[in-house]
Amino acid sequence: MYIFPRKVNALTIALACFCSSAYSAEIYNKAGNKLDLYGKIDALHQLSDNKSVDGDSTYVRLGFRGETQINDGLTGYGQWESQYNGNQAEGSSSSAAVTRVAFAGLSSSKYGSVDYGRNYGVVYDIAAWTDALPEFGGDAYGIDNFMFKRTGNLLTYRNNTLVDGLRVVLQYQGENGGAGETNNSREALKQNGEGYGASLIQEWDNGVSVGAAFSSSNRTQGQNNMTYGHGDRADVYRAGLKYDANQIYLAGTFTDSRNATIFGSSSKEVYGFANHAQIMEFTAKYVFNNGIVPVVSYLQTKGKDIEGYGEQDLLKYLAVGANYYFNKNMSTAVMYKFNFLNDNDFTTRSGINTDDVLALDLVYQF
């Protein structure tokens, strides 16, 4: 995250393709005030038998992050990031900007930082380790889905000053779109009640990191009125192990969730939450000195206790490919997704993709 950046090395720079804020252009730095602008243009094309996936997927991301020195021990900061789809007709609602993050906070060199706004949920502190592909990855979490990934109404406290290499995060999320909110209506899949979470990560100088995270949230009445997925609370537990050194990157994560993992599309007959789900992800990379970064990743989400369907694979694929970095601002990638799901009554009625996908892109970022 912004306040506590990871150690910078060649591999970290290469892995930063998925996070545009790793590159930035300083546009102002004077009298304790600093403002950086960053952006990414991803000219992306996907090839697949699935027509909802096949075709142009070009997008642009733009953001800024700033800080101001309040006194010797206190700094104010803020960050905003938005995405624009470039594959839609002008004036289309699908091409309109969406806000990815927007938050502000205060940071103390002694006591840590606290911020509020739209940010990454605490479970993603661990999930980010395997969500490190040029394309694909991160499918299991869902946007605006409790504290899995990016979501709103988050109050976050971070501290890395207690023990060397130890990162502690505490997070609270207010209600979004439930019966108690009148200015934030949204579909049931993207609602949440009040919740809280925490993560604990220990990093060592040899490149090894180990971490765990959890979140627990109230579910809304709208969610429990759905056909699939019931329960008073949505609970998520995640653990991970990572090695990042000597041009090698290896990471594995495992998640157990209750009434929290989404499946299917709301435009289909079968969609909702798995009463119980388990998520496994493994990612490996190697950085060659000539700028080539091959990558392989395996992802599987198994839904259990789904009404009328029992146990089903919600996601299961192997992604292989490579990045090539012309320099720090320009790169290209090819990724192939071997989809191990089969067409059946469940995948057809829920709209879950069962086809392979080939992704080709050319990226400029600053």
Between residues 343 and 9, the one the model is more confident about: 343
Residue closest to 192 by CA, chosen among 239, 143, 124, 158: 143
Q: What does the alpha-carbon distance between residue 252 and residue 236 come to, in Å, rounded to a whole number?
A: 17
Q: What values do phi and psi take at 96, rounded to 5?
A: -65, 155
Side-chain-side CA neighbours of 277 within 13 Å: the count stands at 29
Structure confidence at residue 7 (pLDDT)? 38
Q: Among 140-144, 208-212, 351-355, which stretch is predicted with the lowest mean pLDDT?
A: 140-144
Strands (E), the chain: 25-30, 33-47, 55-56, 59-71, 74-85, 98-108, 112-120, 150-159, 166-173, 195-203, 208-218, 233-245, 248-263, 272-286, 292-306, 310-325, 330-339, 357-365
* pLDDT of 56 above 90: yes
Q: What does the alpha-carbon distance between residue 186 and residue 242 come to, in Å, rounded to a whole number?
A: 36
* pLDDT of 12 above 70: no
Structure confidence at residue 184 (pLDDT)? 66
Q: Both tokens of residue 55?
A: 């075709």
Task: Name the pLDDT band for 166 (thresholds 50, 70, 90).
Answer: very high
Structure confidence at residue 138 (pLDDT)? 86
Q: How many residues does the chain have?
A: 366
pLDDT digits (tens, 9 = 90+) for 227-264: 898 899 999 999 999 999 999 999 999 999 999 999 99
Structure confidence at residue 181 (pLDDT)? 60
Q: Which value, to the nearest 10 degrees, does the dihedral of the CA atoms of residues 189, 191, 197, 199 take?
A: 50
Counting residues of the chain whose pLDDT is more than 90, the rounded percentage is 77
Domain boundaries, the chain: 10-365
Q: Both tokens of residue 267?
A: 């435009």
CATH code for the domain defined by 10-365: 2.40.160.10
pLDDT digits (tens, 9 = 90+) for 142-163: 899 999 999 999 999 999 988 8
Structure confidence at residue 4 (pLDDT)? 34
Whole-number average pLDDT of the chain: 90
Mean pLDDT in residue range 298-307: 94
Q: What does the alpha-carbon distance between residue 269 and residue 346 come to, in Å, rounded to a whole number?
A: 10
